[in-house]
């Protein structure tokens, strides 16, 4: 069973601060995706990383896929209240299903 551990589990920061969320596994994934989920809604895809060592930037969000394709990180610069939500990483093995991480619940305080 592929297990994706995210840390921290909960994070509460002030607006304007920076933060990093980690997603770690002992399994190798062919791609890794990051989603954000808000209460009462389904997860929304933020990014997909495919190549080991790949770095993708999406405005204030920076995503990195580990060289060995077993881990990933999400860095948010100058967090805003609109960034509040549940952040989920998900690994894809090529078997047409995703293994989701344990989630990081982020609260950005104005």
Q: What is the maximal distance between C-alpha atoms in the chain?
A: 42
Tokens of 76: 């948010």
Pairing of the two strands 85-92 and 31-37: antiparallel
Residues 67-96 that bind other proteins (CB under 8 A): 88, 90, 92, 94-96
In this chain, which stretch among 14-22, 27-35, 54-62, 76-84 interacts with other proteins, using CB under 8 A? 27-35
Q: Is 3 in the site for other proteins (CB under 8 A)?
A: no
28 vs 44 by CB, closer to other proteins: 44
Q: Which long-range contacts (CB under 8 A, 24 or more apart) does 36-44 make?
A: 36/85, 36/86, 36/87, 36/88, 37/85, 37/86, 37/87, 37/88, 38/84, 38/85, 38/86, 43/86, 43/88
Q: Which of 28, 45, 68, 109 binds other proteins (CB under 8 A)?
A: 45
CB of 89 to other proteins, least distance (A): 11
- The footprint of other proteins (CB under 8 A) covers 1, 30-31, 33, 35, 40-45, 48, 50, 88, 90, 92, 94-103
């Amino acid at each position: 069973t592929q297990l994706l551990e995210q840390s921290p589990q909960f994070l509460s920061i002030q607006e304007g601060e920076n933060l990093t969320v980690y997603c770690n596994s002992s399994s190798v994934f062919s791609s890794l995706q990051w989603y954000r989920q808000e209460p009462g809604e389904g997860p929304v895809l933020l990014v997909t990383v495919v190549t080991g060592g790949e770095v993708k930037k999406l405005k204030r969000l920076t995503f990195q896929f580990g060289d060995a394709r077993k881990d990933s990180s999400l860095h948010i610069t100058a967090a805003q209240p609109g960034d509040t939500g549940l952040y989920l990483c998900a690994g894809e093995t090529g078997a047409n299903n995703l293994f989701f991480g344990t989630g990081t619940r982020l609260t950005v305080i104005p």
